[in-house]
Structure 1
Amino acid sequence: MARLGDVCEILNGYAFKSANYTDKGVRIIRISNVQKGYIEDNTPAFYPFDDINVAKYELFEGDLLLSLTGNVGRVGRLDKKFLPAALNQRVACIRIKDNTALDKSFLFDLLNSDSFEQKCILSSKGVAQKNLSTEWLKDYKIPLPPLDEQREIAAVLDKVSDLIAKRRQQLNKLDELVKSRFIEMFGDMLLNTKRWNEKPLESMADIVSGITKGRKIKGQSMIKVPYMAVSNVKDGYIDWTTVKTIEATEQEIEQYRLLPDDVLMTEGGDPDKLGRGAIIKELLENCIHQNHIFRVRLNESVILPGFFAEYLKHQKSKRYFIGCAKQTTGIASINMRQLKALPVLLPPLALQKQFSAFVAQTDKSKLAIQKSLEKLEILKKALMQKYFG
């Protein structure tokens, strides 16, 4: 075993001011860019090349970056495509001191284990927003097997990770196909180039929040049922990899029971994922949802789930949510009132049906890929558990 601080440099970022962001220059890597296992940048921010702090906090290809606030313990590896880049506050950079003692791929896999992430969460301070200390990181002890063994472990996990990446690329291509078809049929949603009527979401849907964990119930019999958590609701699909259960009364089950074609939407998360939603189609018996998820049950004589779920991915809705969301460091959230007021463009139902039929055909191709992806992710979790506990 070795202290992470003994085998790695652990660097804190700088508080680059958003008021000084530019359209080009050095990319600022923020908390929202650090996802579990990768770095993404859908809403890039840049700083002038000649700023003195850009050079002091310069990042390099392959740097391991870790989120210290909000969704703490997420680790990504910086790709060359993001350079030149600099490290923002509340993101830690982890650099190996001696490559003959510690393999970077092995360390990256270890830090991406569920075990490490959970320890980060448990060791964080704060109630409304978690904060992790780099001093805790330095003291964290990691296994240090012989270098050859580290490389063998990393090679096995890399093969599975590569297959997972290929499946995700296949899904992304199908998503892009659907997106192109949507624009072709309905035009630019932001500009409303086809001049569709606009109405608030509450005029065409029943919207409710879900069950609260930890609430106090006295003198009533409870039934254990499956429930949808924020982690299950992805951008455009439901992740069934891990479904948790909760005890609820019969009245609560009736109140929160999900039905086919309900659209589930998250109330908060990374700013660029705000308002993400997915249609729930296949249901577990008596499946309900937690309070950090909104259930949107549409009036299908006015708007179809297939159209609405894709609408949420486009700039008209995304900009609305970003504009009205409450934002803290790296985290944004919306409330029920704001969701109900979401402006929705309404093309003719016949056109929506055409689009939904196209989506249904595409979903058949996605289903086989998604099942393969889920099996690979379960395999990777099992391997991570075997190697890292």
Structure 2
Amino acid sequence: MSEWSITKLGDVLEITNGYAFKSVNFRSEPEAGCLPVLKIKNVANGDVHINDVQYHHFEEKLSKYTAQKGDILISLTGNHPHAETQVVGAVSKLKMDIRAFVNQRVAKIDTKPNLADKDYIYFALKEEGLSKYLASQSSGSANQANISKADIEDLDIALPPLPEQKTIASVLSSLDDKIDLLHRQNKTLEAMAETLFRQWFIEEAKEDWDVSPLGDVVKIAYGKNLPTSRLLDSGYPVFGGNGQIGFYDRFLYSEPQVLVSCRGEASGKVNISLPNSFITNNSLILERKENGISFEYLKFYALAYDFGLHISGSAQPQITIDGLFNAEFRWPPLGLVESFTEVVRPLEDKRLTNYIQIQTLENLRDMLLPKLMSGEVRVQYQTEDVA
């Protein structure tokens, strides 16, 4: 590793803080000449997404605050590591072929020419040791931690020669690309099943179908308390109110379950757990009974139902078992449920197979990442010709 050098990120990066847009100028819907505005919530989970975004009219003077496909973004404000939601110092890549504004408290990272490879920097910043160190430098409270451009620039990084950087990034990117492909396949499979459910059970629903309280159809149960401090880096998946939040050394349910978030801002959100999962008490579990209602039907019924109708409490929104008991459940003919299940179950099985492959690839990537970034595992690379 004699050819590797230790350098400050500020020596090889250009970091641009986002712009402090005025909220009064945001549009809630896309309009001609407008770009989506990426906030912390859009960049804090690994890949940039444009769910629940606002839009702002493009002006040439704001062009330096835009990002496009391949750009790296980092959240400058958020919670400390192991929080369920936004995490300070989280690094994401914009993988969609769009142009977007970068909002205040998000920064865009570019590399200086011929000094560092952008994708290598992306993976280096995602490496657990570096990301945790960066988050540890944050100021503020646990609920509102902050890092600055200077904090990022002052971070030491091990840099191999540029050709080796590119080869390392290529290895890790190929794994990410396969993972992304499987995620897209799963979204397509989910959309197919949702479309079929909507057609059969919403658009073509009959007025004479019976209606029952949800509590008569399923057993509604709370998950178990599990402090976030006891979460592990591996083991059985743990589901909180916002989805999977980590791992634990035991599980509560061997089969996937339909979950309804029951505490805080996420109340009413539906999540679907995985086989052999632990469910925290931030969710209510809709346990099936022997009544002909399949898991597949219950899942898509729950995804289509507005559980927000059963939220109580103003200072602390919540959904209780009693409050959810009388939620409406429509009984279609069981033969129609069986036909739906017959079509959808292979799609669900394929989604699960894809998920298992995603987990395998993610584990491989996460195992390789620190080894490649430290030089413990080396890659063969071709030295670039110098003209």
Aligning the two structures, in what range does the TM-score lie when normalised by the shorter sequence?
0.7 to 0.9
Which of 243, 253, 268 in structure 2 is aligned with 1:258?
253
Residue aligning to 1:181: 196
C-alpha RMSD of the superposition? 4.1
Are residue 371 (structure 1) and residue 356 (structure 2) matched? yes
Instruction: Give the TM-score, by structure 1 length.
Output: 0.73
Residue aligning to 2:285: 295
Change beyond 3 A, Cα 1:183–1:143 = same
* Unaligned residue ranges in structure 2 (runs of 5+): 1-5, 79-85, 230-234, 375-387
Residue aligning to 1:305: 295
Are residue 277 (structure 1) and residue 271 (structure 2) matched? yes
Residues 75 and 112, structure 1, Cα contact 8 Å, conserved in 2: yes
- Write out per-residue CA displacement over residues 283-303 of structure 1, whole angstroms, 9 at most, x where no aligned residue: 3xxx64334444332456385
Q: How does 1:1-389 map to 2 (within 5 A)?
A: 1-22=6-27, 23=29, 24=31, 25-50=34-59, 54-55=62-63, 57-67=65-75, 68-69=77-78, 70-79=86-95, 81-83=97-99, 85-96=100-111, 98-125=112-139, 129-134=143-148, 135-187=150-202, 204-213=218-227, 228-230=237-239, 234=243, 243-245=247-249, 257-258=252-253, 260=255, 262-266=257-261, 275-280=269-274, 282-283=275-276, 288-299=278-289, 301=291, 304-314=294-304, 316-317=305-306, 320=308, 335-337=318-320, 340-341=323-324, 344-348=328-332, 350=334, 351-388=336-373
Q: Which amino acid aligns with 2:113?
A: N
**In 1, distance between residues paired with 2:115 and 2:303?**
45
Residue 145 of structure 2 aligns to a residue in which SS? coil
Residues 61 and 80, structure 1, Cα contact 8 Å, conserved in 2: yes
Residue aligning to 1:253: none
Residue 137 of structure 1 aligns to a residue in which SS? helix
**In 2, distance between residues paired with 1:338 and 1:17?**
42
Residue aligning to 1:221: none
* Unaligned residue ranges in structure 1 (runs of 5+): 216-225, 247-255, 328-332
Identity of aligned residues (%): 24
Q: Which amino acid aligns with 2:38?
A: I
**In 1, distance between residues paired with 2:105 and 2:212?**
40
**In 2, distance between residues paired with 1:198 and 1:95?**
57
Instruction: Give the TM-score, by structure 2 length.
Output: 0.73
Change beyond 3 A, Cα 1:59–1:14 = same
Residue 159 of structure 2 aligns to a residue in which SS? coil
- Write out per-residue CA displacement over residues 68-93 of structure 1, whole angstroms, 9 at most, x where no aligned residue: 3232232222246321x211122221
Residues 38 and 76, structure 1, Cα contact 8 Å, conserved in 2: yes
Residue 368 of structure 2 aligns to a residue in which SS? helix
**In 2, distance between residues paired with 1:159 and 1:81?**
18
**In 2, distance between residues paired with 1:49 and 1:214?**
42
**In 2, distance between residues paired with 1:270 and 1:110?**
33
Residues 262 and 297, structure 1, Cα contact 8 Å, conserved in 2: yes
Q: How far 1:129 moved relative to its partner?
A: 2.4
Name the larger-Rg structure.
2
Residue 95 of structure 1 aligns to a residue in which SS? strand
**In 1, distance between residues paired with 2:271 and 2:21?**
32
